Amino acid sequence: MSIALKILVVIFLSGTKFMFAIPLSIIKYDFTFIQTLLFSVAGGVLSIFVFSFLSDKIYKFIASRRKNKVKKRSMKNILAIKTARKYGLFGIAFLTPIFLSIPIGTYLALHFFPEKKKTIPILITSVVGWSLVFSVALTAF
């Protein structure tokens, strides 16, 4: 596999399933600490921007499909609402790269906290922080 394809895989995986991208980058592809940090942050930040742009369209699409339907409460909905109420934007941002995925976390954060100028930098900070933690932890071994 070429180096360019490996980089694209890590960037794409960082944007969707962040938690798996860094171990793949370090263990399987033998990227250095700086490369891993750079590619995982790039993928995460790119994904945040793409899904923040798409979040309005997704929300409108979901709302238009549910006009006549009764809203059902699922465990995911209840957990998202409780997290947003109890821990706020920082709680969602903290959980997004690891437990949620970046697309879902970005959508939830912008749904509950729609001010993009405040929400997006907090999400980016979370991605950079988690990337740093995982990169340091995995390259130390």
Picking from 32, 20, 23, 24, the residue whose alpha carbon sits closest to that of residue 6 is 24
**Predicted TM-score of the model (pTM):** 0.83
Give the SS3 label for residue 67: coil
Residue with more model confidence, 61 or 137: 137
User: Does the structure show a pLDDT above 80 at 116?
Assistant: yes
Average pLDDT, the chain: 87
pLDDT of residue 36: 93
User: Does the structure show a pLDDT above 70 at 72?
Assistant: no
| Residues 10-57 pLDDT 10s | 999 999 988 899 999 999 999 999 999 999 999 999 999 999 988 778
pLDDT of residue 107: 87
